[in-house]
Every structure is written in structure tokens, then in C-alpha cells.
Structure 1
């Protein structure tokens, strides 16, 4: 029995361990090379300034700024209440119309009764908010004109590292004149915000606390 105690303890502790947050960023999307036009005159269109051109992102390789306005809030509650009662009475026999008594107390008579009550309640709430801005690139344009964008921002701070990634599809009609689009206008959006460092370690539970809060704890 003692030989099985140590492997069992190691198994329980390893089950409570959590994997660290990985900050490996997704690889940069490779854009196809754009054909280079050969200038055939003194005028170079690449150096011209177009006063009436639309500078919003439309083609593969263009840069677009996504305004992060993500905010979610969820709340659930439940309550259950049940009760049940029952009773039964057994009358004692009679002799010549009189009950059988002993010491002035009826015998062979009794009563049964029972009450059961259950009440339970639970609730949970969660809210998240992410604001800011992230510049992404157009990596694909489908035949219907939708733009597939992707980008990331990685910050190396003195108290930890932070990584922000975003990808999804954008309609050109949703892009503002200043070449920005709200994140709630991005279809099939995938947003990931992760960090590690001293602040992340301070907010993480230890392995023993995770064990007591895990389903393996019998009490």
C-alpha cells in the first residue's frame, strides 16, 4: 500500500498542473510579390500625390487599423426548491368498544410522519473588455470583395511580455474614410490577448491551491 501511495500522489499533483500561457505568435502571412511596372517616361506615378484618391485598404498588402471595442458580459442564475411531507396514523384495537390501555396509555397504536425539503441556488457572472488599436494587413481578397486581414502586436515590458493577435474578414463598406474599422465589424474574428511575467505569475494559483479546487478533491 505504501508503494502505491507515492505514484498516486504524483498523479494527482500532475493532474492539477496547468500549462503555461504560450506566447508564440502565429507566423507572418507571406504576401505574393507585386509586379513592378517599368516607367517609360520622365513622369513617375509612384511619386505622385493624388488629392482625390481613396486611401482605404482594398488590395492585398494594404494596411488597415482595427479599433478594438470588444466587450462581453454574461450572467446566469438558477434556483431550485422542493418539499414533500407524509403522515400515517395506526389506531389501536378495541375490546368491548374500549381501547386497550396500559397505565392509562393506549397501546398498539402509533403514527408515522416525514418531511423532506431541498433548496439550492447558484449563479455566475463574467465580463470582459478590450480596447485599443491594432494595425493589420490585407492577406487575401475573395471574389466577392471581402478582405481577409491578420496582424499582431508584441510588447516586451520590464514586468512581462504581452501579445495581441487578430484575424478575420472585413467588408470594404465597413471601413471608415480614415482607414479604420471597428472590431465588432470583423467577421469570423479571432482575437487573442496573452501575457506572461511577474504580474501573470502573481495572479496564478499555486499547484496546491489548484489541487484543493480541482474535481479530484473529495471534500
Structure 2
């Protein structure tokens, strides 16, 4: 009888074996990391970009032509004549551009899909409205499981094919745009 109970218990344990990933959700000793569709993950956005470009051009051309005439008839001298012809052409141009941007924020995302190699496509957005100013932050990309830290977060620079979008609307945004007449004159000229 004991053998029969032991065999039934062993067979039922084999049939209803637990998935290790499911068991890790309830374990005291495992990390709670995103690994399947629908799981949440925290993205720590730390982006910094800086670019500058400088260009200078200088060109010049100078030419001149001159002639002197002098002489006389019998013992009378003719007035001295000088003819000078000259041209001058020069161009100088310069330009420079400089762009700097820094973004720091945290945003939660959801695992959209999981690829065969374990990489996950994530997407997330956050909308913040303060005093009528609306700010929308969106993020999408692909995350490797090895880049996810034990607190279920990943840095934005570890996301491949990352698309991070910051959009704003409100009084400040509209005051930074040129007026209708200015845009019309820029379009015409």
C-alpha cells in the first residue's frame, strides 16, 4: 500500500510539475524580473547628447593692370599719362551650430512581445499635466533579459532600437512657436 501511494504521488508530481519561472514569482530568494508578455518593467531614462559643427570659408581674388605713357614732339614734352585698371573680389563666410540635450526620468513600460532568444519588445508612456501644460513621454524598444537589474529596471542606453519621444503642449509650447504672419513671411521669402 505504501508503495502504491508513493508511486501515485511520484506520477502526479511528474504530471503536474511546476514551471521554474512560475515558481520564481513566489520564491523569497529569486529576483522579480519581467520575462513574459504583460509584465511591467521600469525604464530609467538617462540620455545626454551634445553636437557641434563649425565651418569657415574665405576666398579672394585681386588683379590689376597699369600702363604709363610719356614722350614728346620736337623739344616739347607731352603730358605724362597713367592708366590703371584693377578688380577686387573677396568672400568671407562662417557658420556654427551647437546642440545640447539632457533628459532624466523614470517611466514604466509593458512587455509587448517576447522573441525566441528571450529578448523583449517593450512600450510605455506617461502623461503629465501641470497647470494646463501637458507633457507626454513615450518609449519603445527591445530589452535583453541580462540588462534587467534585480530591481526590475533597465537603463535607456541598454535598450536597442529605442525610440524616446517627449512632446509638450500648452501655453509655453505655443509661445515658443512663431506667429501666423511670421510663418507666412518665411514661407513667401
- The TM-score by the shorter chain falls in which range? 0.7 to 0.9
1:195 aligns with 2:168: yes
TM normalised by structure 1 equals: 0.68
- Give the SS at the match of 2:69: coil
Give the structure 2 partner of residue 59 of structure 1: 36
Query: Is residue 130 of structure 2 the alignment partner of residue 153 of structure 1?
Result: no
Counterparts in 2 of 1:99 and 1:193: CA distance versus 1, 3 Å: farther
- Cα distance, 1:82 vs. partner? 1.1
- 1:136 has 2:109 as partner: yes
Structure with the greater alpha carbon radius of gyration = 2
Structure-2 residue corresponding to 1:84: 61
Match of 2:48 among 61, 71, 94: 71
- After superposition, where does 1:22-41 map in structure 2 within 5 Å? none
Report if aligned partners of 1:66, 1:183 keep a CA contact under 8 Å in 2.
Answer: yes
**TM-score after normalising by structure 2:** 0.78
1:10 matched to which residue of 2? none
Correspondent of 2:139 among 161, 166, 179: 166
What are the ranges of 5 or more consecutive residues in structure 2 without an aligned counterpart? Answer: 1-15, 17-21
More strand by share: 2
Q: Which runs of 5+ in 1 are unaligned?
A: 1-38, 40-44
The number of equivalent residue pairs is 168
User: How far off is 1:136 after superposition?
Assistant: 0.3
